[in-house]
Each structure stands twice: as C-alpha cells, then as structure tokens.
Structure 1
Amino acid sequence: MSTARCIVIALIALLVSGCATKVPESALKLRPESLEVRQIQTRRFDGIGEAELLAACAGVLQDLGFNLDEAEAPLGLIVASKNRSALEPASATVKRLLDIFLDIEMEIDDEQRIRASLVSRPVPNEVESWFVRVTFQRIVWTTENEISRREELDDPQLYQKFFERLSKSVFLEAHSI
C-alpha cells in the first residue's frame, strides 16, 4: 500500500473517531433544584379552554410590557420580549469619572432584553384543565454592543406575581367579564 493511501486512511479514521465524542455524564443529570424551579414556573388552571387561557396569558404578558414575538396556539406556545435599560447609575458615574480624569474607556451594561417563554399543556385525563409553565431569561449588552451575560431569571417573586395576575385574568376570561 502506498504511503499516501495509508495517510488518507489514517486521516479518515481520525476524522471518524473525532466525530464520535462521548457526552459527559453531567450533561444528562438534572440539577438537584430542577424540580423546585419547575414547580415555581408552573401552575394549574381549571375550568377554561385553551384558546381563552392563551388569550389571558398573552394579555398578562402585554400588560407587563412585553411584545408578543411568537404565538402558536395549536402548540400552546407564546414567546414575548421587552427591551429595557440595564444601566446602573453607580456604574455610569464611575465610567464618566474614569473617562474624564484618566481617559479610560470602560464597558458597562447598557441594554437588556427580557424574554418570556410560555407553554400550556393539558392535564392528563381531565377536561378544561391546563398546566402553564413560563420562564424568563435576559440577555445584557454592554456599551460596546457586546453580550455581557445571558441568564435565566429565577426570582420566585417574579413568577408569583406573574401567576397572580394570570389567575385574575383567567377568572375574567372564564366568566367573560
């Protein structure tokens, strides 16, 4: 066998073995707090149809200042977002002082996009009963228009306030008020 042919076969074997990477075991394990987080993000609603439930969800998100990006009623999915300033007064002051006195440019958080993803699914073996799960994430950009961080918002009060508003809205939708 020629040397070139051996090299090609070796490269192909190396390429194929490189594509067969092993998934780390930690990637498949749920974090201990995953169940607790899911419970905070999920509520059950009874006595309402899916169309009315999704209308109530969309209304609450809009009341909270979100713009609807996607709505797929057959899938029970709503995605919404809102842009807000992420500028903190103390950071802005330090940035100005460094710029004025030391001629140093400092990147600070400038803008953020908060995204809400909502999914409804029927409760098994029950009529007009739904689980609603909502998650909130945010992406923060610096003054140089670079992403400084992406994070899931996991404050239980945020979810509690959302579901309190949604409960009121569902009640009004269900009773056509």
Structure 2
Amino acid sequence: MRLLFISYIVATVALTGCATTNQRVLDADSGTQLQKRSYQSRAFDTSDKEKVLRATISTLQDLGFVIDRADLTLGTVTGTKLATHRITMTVSVRPQGTDRMLVRANAQFNITPIEDPKHYQDFFSSLEKSLFLAAHAEG
C-alpha cells in the first residue's frame, strides 16, 4: 500500500514537472517566433500574386541568387546563392484580404537560420523597388 502511494506521488510530480517545462518552452518560443515573423514578413498593396512572385524572382536574381524552384500555385520561390558559403532563401506569397499580398522570407546560411533583421530589410527594400518599377512600367 505504501509503495502504491509513493508511486502515485512520484507520477504526479513528474507529470506536473513536464507540463510546467512544456509551458515554459512554449512561452519562451512564442515571443521569439513573433519577432522573427515581424521582420521576415511584409504586406504589399496589390492583389496580383503573379506580379509579386515575378518581382520576387527578379529581386532574388538581382541579389545574386539562382532560382531553384518557383511555384505560382503554392506561391513560393526558393533560390540559392553560392559565395564562400551557401545561402538559401525561400519566399512565400499569399493573399492577405482582397487587396494585399503578404510576403514572407526565410533564409539560411549553410544550415543555420539567418536571424539578423537587416538581411530581411535589405531583401524587402529591393523587392519594394522592383514592385514600384514594375507598376510604373505598366502604366
């Protein structure tokens, strides 16, 4: 009887400890993920997904990337830049409401995620210029 009681106490403490640890992991990670998403994403005032994907491809090429894959249906573009190391960037484009496109970029240096916001700001600045030039070339 005493052994059963001790087993019950140990199991209860173990389960409580796991829940607390899992909660802490989720709490700590959610703020970081939210910060990453904020500098990895940018919304553009257009409903033309194809135009944004074409501008994304042009921007990546202008930055020295070779396009590995582009899929209009999925709204993704992946490119690789080989300098002294391998840099891979995947960009996804999806509608945000009826008149905006949300663009999210994710880059890796070799196999390590790039987390410096400056690299993403540079990409989005170039993409914004490309979209501006494309819009003015049409009209």
TM-score of the superposition, structure 1-length normalised?
A: 0.61
* Distance in 2 separating the partners of 1:50 and 1:174: 13
| SS at structure 1 position matched to 2:64 | coil
| SS at structure 1 position matched to 2:137 | coil
| Counterpart pick for 2:114 among 153, 156, 177 | 153
Equivalent pairs counted in the alignment come to: 117
More helix per residue: 1 or 2? 2
* Distance in 2 separating the partners of 1:151 and 1:133: 18
| Counterpart pick for 2:95 among 111, 122, 143 | 122
Percent identity (aligned)? 34
Q: Structure 1 residue 175: deviation in Å?
A: 2.6
Could you tell me which residue of structure 1 aligns to residue 4 of structure 2? none
* Distance in 1 separating the partners of 2:137 and 2:129: 12
Q: Which 4+ runs in 1 deviate beyond 3 A?
A: none
Matched AA of 2:26:
K
Matched AA of 2:101:
W
Could you tell me which residue of structure 1 aligns to residue 26 of structure 2? 29
Larger radius of gyration: 1
- Give 1:41-56 correspondences, 5 Å limit: 41-56=40-55
Could you tell me which residue of structure 2 aligns to residue 80 of structure 1? 79
Structure 1 gap segments, 5+ residues each? 1-23, 86-111, 140-149
Matched AA of 1:113:
R
| Counterpart pick for 1:166 among 112, 117, 127 | 127
Contact 1:68–1:79, Cα closer than 8 Å, also in 2: yes
